[in-house]
Structure 1
Amino acid sequence: MAEARTGTKDAYELILDAIDAGLYRPGDRMVESELAERFGVSRTPIREALQRLETQSLLTRDGRSLIVASLDHNQLAELYAVRAELEGLAARLAAQHAAPEEVRVLREMVEQDRALVDDPAALSRANRRFHKQIHLASHNRYLIQQLDLVHRTMALLATTSLAVEGRSKTAVAEHDAIVKAIEARDGEAADAALRTHISRAFETRLRLDSVAE
């Protein structure tokens, strides 16, 4: 039975959300008929969505089939390098332009995350919301668009680095440092704190991948 369409999301957004939620993982085949049935839409918008995802390198060809892409070591390094630059800029701009209400929401997020350190999956979802809030607080629509694409690509990572022992607590501490800099309206410190956060996440990711090989 087809699943009901969620709100006004189009086929592209529905498939992206499914990948992000882990319903489809790297290597999984994307079959038009199955996707149309799952999301309750016709095959034409599904086909167009798959083509768009392929051009964004979120899907790749395996013979005649499209599968969810995976990232090799070089692609992973490139992704984290771009992410550090863009996220750092977002934090710098947030320190300059965030409304007091936005800053308070960021602080609340950090405090709430302290209760999730023993639940990597929940903390991973909270982590995405935290970073999204910083993007929005930058008040730069073009930067937000680029960061949305970067974070969509992060969905291609089958596991969260927050599952590594000890990473959850340090990640929350790093979030705290980022918010303190934004609260102080110190753009340079916010930029540096977020770059440090991304660097440590990348280092943890590399360790995680080395064990999995």
Structure 2
Amino acid sequence: MKPPPTDAYSLILEAIDVGIFKPGDRLVESDLAERFGVSRTPIREALQRLETQSMLTRDGRSLIVSSLDYNQLAELYVVRAELEGLAAELAARHATPEEVRVLRDMVEDDRALLGKPVELARANRRFHKQIHLASHNRFLVQQLDLVHRSMALLATTSLAAVGRDEDALREHDAIVAGIEAHDSAGAAQALRDHISKAFVTRLKLDSGEVKSTV
């Protein structure tokens, strides 16, 4: 397990990522300094950095956590599907046996998290990050980090939809199977299909067509 972040920027970003701060929440410099036990100067610098990255939006003199509108959400998922698919394709070519073993173990271990959408969402991020790293392409990893940072602006996880967790793990299993078999085209398609199904689920959640467990 990775150690918790210590710098102000990472602390605030992590809090957004895990849903402590949600889209629309107002971030107050003094409150953040007290919460994280740091001085206001690094908090101020972190807020400025997050604003330039569009993670925060100015509302008068205040900063609030940004939200994504329908078009931004669709654009994000299009880019994510293509970049994640490329990562799976490259992982099928370049992943070491040890990296494949880690991915396989992740799928098996995550079965214990069925019915726990918040915990499973964290595990899901680790799983996707491992595929990114297994691509052995640092520039692709950097771009996917930007995409996943924007994913933190979604107020809920699609894994909270009733039944989505089991489907997602089956899809993860298919992705790893493609990587294990060095089937670059199959792994890429499996991951693109996985992202597409997650997007459909999110749209249904937002419309109220499916129920959330959180």
1:3 aligned partner:
none
Which of 153, 176, 181 is matched with 2:150 structurally?
A: 153
- Percent identity between matched residues is 75
Pairing partner for 2:119 from 112, 117, 122: 122
Q: Following TM superposition, by how much is the alpha carbon of 1:74 offset from its aligned partner in structure 2, in angstroms? A: 0.4
Asked if 1 retains the 8 angstrom alpha-carbon contact of 2:5 and 2:11, the reply is no
Task: For 2:5 and 2:204, locate their aligned partners in 1 and report how far apart those are by CA, in whole Å.
Answer: 40
- Residue matched to 1:65: 62
8 A contact 2:121–2:157 mirrored in 1: yes
| AA at the equivalent of 2:107 | V
Cα shift readout 1:45-96 (whole Å, capped 9, x = no counterpart) = 1111111111111100111110000111001001101100110111111111
C-alpha spacing 1:169/1:86, structure 2 compared with 1 (3 Å): same
Closer/same/farther in 2, CA of residues 80 and 99 from structure 1, 3 Å limit? same
1:7 CA displacement: 6.2
TM-score computed with the length of structure 1 as normaliser = 0.93
Write the distance in 1 (CA, Å) between the matches of 2:56 and 2:103. 33
> Corresponding residue for 2:85?
88
Equivalent residue of 1:71, what SS? coil
Question: Distance between the aligned counterparts of 1:40 and 1:114, measured in 2?
Answer: 36
* TM-score when normalising by structure 2: 0.93
Alpha-carbon distance in 1 for matches of 2:144, 2:46:
20
Deviates more, 1:122-131 or 1:171-180: 122-131
Distance 2:4 2:164 in 1: 35
3-state SS in 2 of match to 1:208:
helix
Q: Aligned partner of 1:43: which letter?
A: R
**Aligned counterparts of 1:165 and 1:100: Cα–Cα separation in 2:** 34
Gaps of 5+ in 2: 210-214
Query: Residue 30 and residue 135 in structure 1: after superposition, are their counterparts in 2 closer, same or farther (change >3 A)?
Result: same
Looking at structure 1, the residues matched to 5 and 162 of structure 2 have their Cα atoms a distance apart, in angstroms, of: 39
Please give the secondary structure, in 2, of the residue aligned with 1:57.
coil
CA shift digits 1:90-124 (9 cap, x unpaired): 11111111110000010011111222222212211
Relative to structure 1, the CA distance from residue 13 to residue 122 in structure 2 (aligned partners, 3 Å threshold; closer, same or farther) is same
Aligned pairs, number? 207
